[in-house]
Amino acid sequence: MPSWQSYVVNPLLRFTVKRKLARITTPLAARAVLGNNPPPPPAGASFTPGTLGGVEGEWVRAGAGHEGMLLYLHGGGYFSCSPVTHRAITAAFALRGFCVFAPRYRLAPEHPFPAALEDALAACQALLTQAPGRVAISGDSAGGGLALAVLLAGKARNLRLPACAALFCPWTDLAATGASLTRNARRESLLYGPKVKDAAAVYLQGQDPTNPLASPLYGDFTGLPPLLIQVGRAEILLDDSTRVAARAAAAGVPVELTIWDNLPHVWHVAQHFLPEARAALDQAASFAKSALASGAARA
């Protein structure tokens, strides 16, 4: 049953952020809306600037030890946000036993596709070199799609892959063909549906929106590690998750899809207020720890 807090968050977002995004005409203006006033991280984690694979970012830790490494890719439509805006999530993973690296990957329009993928893949491979078999990958929205693209690119190049991927409301179809874009247009409390193609155009700048390294929905999932996908039932990007889950299952990939009621896009950032955010992060951490343990047992 949805929490009472979710009944507060949804209308608040609908009448503030969603309205602003609907009126915005440039990526730079959207950056200000999406990047201002991020939710606070939980207490107990530390944030240290660092570089991994030549990509700047920040390490997020809680305490001296950890149960595994996690690469976290922030969302923001490939043109906004940063590791700082998503500290609520990276700190939550750190407090659940992970040493987290969040890369500050290059953003469009200054750096269009495949710049973000190149940075994320470089950071991922560097982390896998440091801790082979002990790395999970996660991301939200565009960062969730980017995490999938990292897996597809790594597989195509015969590189090491993370042990698993935890994807929060991933944006996987930049061609914007999902029926939920229109079906959930009124129910969605954060994103404005007609802007999805605009955001894709900013990132792609004329390149094919069905390229699997930009839109992982169109990729071959055979041989990918286990996936956890969390998404809200009322999201316009719901079908980006359900179709990926179906394709992964058809390819023989272990996949767990959980659909949550009455929650906004990437509700995980509001874990200071939403009990569902804390529950979703608990599920993701448990999933990643289980996959890492299974990988260590096989090694």
Judge whether 6 counts as a catalytic residue: no
| Residues forming beta bridges with residue 47, ordered by sequence position | 60
Provide the edge-to-edge strand list for the sheet that holds 165-168: 46-52, 55-61, 98-103, 68-73, 135-140, 165-168, 227-232, 255-260
Alpha-helical regions (H) of 96-237: 115-130, 142-156, 180-183, 196-204
Distance CA 97, CA 69 (A): 9
**Cβ–Cβ under 8 Å, residues 90 and 119:** no
Catalytic residue among 66, 74, 86, 265: 265
Q: Which two tokens stand for residue 210?
A: 């069905």
Residue 255 φ then ψ, to 5°: -140, 135
**Cβ–Cβ under 8 Å, residues 236 and 191:** yes
Judge whether 3 counts as a catalytic residue: no
Judge whether 189 counts as a catalytic residue: no
**Cβ–Cβ under 8 Å, residues 119 and 170:** no
Catalytic residue among 235, 241, 268, 276: 235
Catalytic residue among 80, 138, 141, 241: 141
Q: Which residues are marked as active site?
A: 141, 235, 265
